[in-house]
């Protein structure tokens, strides 16, 4: 069964291409390589033993989508293609709304026209903002977004909800990702941040590798046991496999219009200091870090309630954070 993976050369997208192929699907990549490297396809080839069909185009043009849907006999879509830098989204709101919301509308209209029913959408735990209670479940109220990026995910979810509520025959799942880390254990694919990494783990691995002099821990005066922020770090391959579970669930669903939302995390909250200590322990590398001021927009703590995804999708994370850190480090060292 042929599945179109938009943004399939990105961090989560490329690992999902592997998970799809391992589950017997045929992944077809659509990526404009605006935030990914051509070498990712070589890495995928070395893991899969075949070169995935790849279209170097974006999702804004319905004619492109129609052609690929037809030529590749696409039966489902996993839509990763989006901009994801929180800070940048505040400087470039129109680019973010155009790419993350505008292209989603084009995709949905073209799916409806071409009778392609199955869609998995990348959402984010950012929709919960600073939650009042932990863990957050899918019933936890969504809070006003802190950033344009976060708002594009909330608007995306609303568009999907409204589309399905109108009875349009599409079956859709939005996955709210927590913090993906790690890499494929082969080190053939991994996270490829451009410039200075925003995210904690690539910053740690680059610092440990000597590419950066020091890591700044953004604040140790939060109301948490060690004063640093708490997140739910999930191995990117576990996250990738959640997409396969969600797609399989959609394919079994008999309703012609369907929409649901799932948290995709481990259920474990881990502080920045705990993660740093784990990294040092599993790699044997001591990390140069110092405590700095808080980063604006960071929430104190968020981690996932995972009961719903276990019960409905039959999916749960199986890999440890230690394993994810070892894999991230192996990927960094391989350079
Ligand atoms: N952190 C540091 N130093 C760094 C980088 C990060 O201390 O150099 C801390 C942050 O303050 C935070 C934690 O590490 O407490 C995790 O930060 P990340 O940037 O890795 O992840 P975030 O949880 O901030 O961001 C993630 C996604 C975003 C999404 C956000 C929603 O990367 O796309 O969750 O909560 F919007």
3-class secondary structure per residue, 89-146: HHHCHHHHHHHHHHHHHHHHHHHHHHCCCEEEEEEEHHHHCCCCCCCECCCCCCCCCC
Looking at ligand 1, which atom is closest to the CA of residue 229?
A: 15
Residue 16 in this model has a pLDDT that exceeds 90: yes
Residue 114 in this model has a pLDDT that exceeds 90: yes
pLDDT, average across residues 114-136? 97
pLDDT, tens only, 235-267 = 999 999 999 999 999 999 999 999 999 999 999
Say which CATH class 2-181+234-265 falls into.
alpha beta
Identify which of 318, 9, 233, 261 has the alpha carbon closest to the alpha carbon of residue 122. Answer: 261
Domain boundaries, the chain: 2-181+234-265
pLDDT, average across residues 90-105? 98
- pLDDT confidence tier of residue 335, bands split at 50, 70 and 90: confident
Percent above pLDDT 70 for the chain: 100
3-class secondary structure per residue, 18-73: HHHHHCCCEEEEECCCCCCCCHHHHHHHHHHCCCCCEECCCCCCHHHHHHHHHHCC
- Residue 282 main-chain phi, psi, to 5 deg: -80, -25
Average pLDDT value over all residues in the chain: 97
Identify which of 48, 16, 46 has the alpha carbon closest to the alpha carbon of residue 29. Answer: 16
pLDDT, tens only, 168-213 = 999 999 999 999 999 999 999 999 999 999 999 999 999 999 999 9
> Are the CB atoms for 27 and 5 separated by under 8 Å?
yes
CB of 127 within 6 A of ligand 1: the answer is: no
Percent above pLDDT 90 for the chain: 99
Please report the pLDDT score of residue 174 as a whole number: 99
Q: List beta partners, residue 260.
A: 173
Residue of the CA atom closest to atom 30 of ligand 1: 126
What is the distance in A from the centroid of ligand 1 to the CA of 295? 9
CB of 145 within 6 A of ligand 1: the answer is: no
Nearby residues of 330 by Cβ (< 8 Å), 6 or more positions away: 183, 185, 187
Please report the pLDDT score of residue 308 as a whole number: 98
149 is catalytic: yes
Please report the pLDDT score of residue 266 as a whole number: 98
What is the distance in A from the centroid of ligand 1 to the CA of 199? 5
Residue 220 in this model has a pLDDT that exceeds 90: yes
Distance CA 43, CA 45 (A): 5
Looking at ligand 1, which atom is closest to the CA of residue 228?
A: 15
Q: Which of 35, 231, 300, 328 best tests ligand 1's pocket when mutated (most atoms within 8 Å of CB)?
A: 231
Q: Is 49 exposed, middle or buried (0-12, 13-18, 19+ CB in 10 A)?
A: exposed
DSSP string, 260-301: EEEEES-S--EEHHHHHHHHHHHH-PPP-EEEEPPPTT--SB
Task: Go through 289-315 and write b for each residue having 16 or more CB atoms within 10 A of its CB, e for each that does not.
Answer: beeeeeeeeebebbbbbbebbeeebeb
């Amino acid at each position: 069964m042929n599945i179109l993976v938009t943004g399939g050369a990105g961090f989560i997208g490329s690992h999902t291409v592997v998970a799809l192929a391992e589950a017997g699907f045929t992944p077809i990549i659509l990526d404009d390589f605006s935030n990914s490297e051509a070498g990712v396809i070589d890495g995928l080839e070395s893991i899969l033993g075949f070169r995935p069909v790849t279209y170097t185009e974006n999702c804004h043009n319905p004619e492109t989508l129609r052609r690929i849907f037809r030529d590749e006999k696409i039966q489902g879509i996993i839509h990763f293609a989006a901009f994801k830098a929180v800070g940048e989204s505040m400087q470039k709101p129109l680019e973010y709304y155009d790419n993350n919301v505008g292209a989603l509308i084009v995709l949905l209209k073209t799916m409806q026209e071409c009778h392609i029913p199955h869609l998995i959408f990348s959402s984010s735990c950012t929709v919960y903002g600073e939650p009042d209670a932990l863990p957050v479940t899918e019933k936890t109220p969504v809070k006003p977004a802190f950033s344009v990026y976060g708002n594009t995910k909330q608007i995306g979810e609303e568009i999907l909800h409204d589309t399905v509520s109108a009875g349009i025959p599409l079956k859709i799942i939005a996955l709210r990702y927590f913090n993906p880390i790690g890499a494929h254990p082969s080190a053939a694919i991994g996270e490829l941040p451009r410039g200075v990494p925003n995210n904690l783990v690539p910053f740690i691995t680059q610092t440990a590798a000597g590419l950066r002099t020091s890591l700044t821990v953004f604040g140790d005066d939060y109301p948490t046991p060690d004063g640093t922020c708490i997140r739910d770090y999930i191995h990117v391959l576990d996250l990738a496999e959640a997409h396969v579970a969600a797609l399989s669930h959609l394919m079994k669903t008999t309703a012609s219009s369907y929409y649901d939302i799932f948290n995709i995390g481990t259920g474990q909250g881990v502080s920045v200091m705990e993660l740093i200590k784990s990294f040092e322990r599993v790699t044997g590398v001591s990390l140069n870090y110092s405590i700095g001021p808080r980063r604006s927009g960071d929430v104190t703590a968020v981690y996932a309630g995972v009961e719903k995804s276990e019960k409905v999708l039959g999916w749960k994370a199986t890999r440890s954070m230690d394993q994810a850190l070892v894999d991230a480090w192996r990927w960094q060292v391989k350079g």
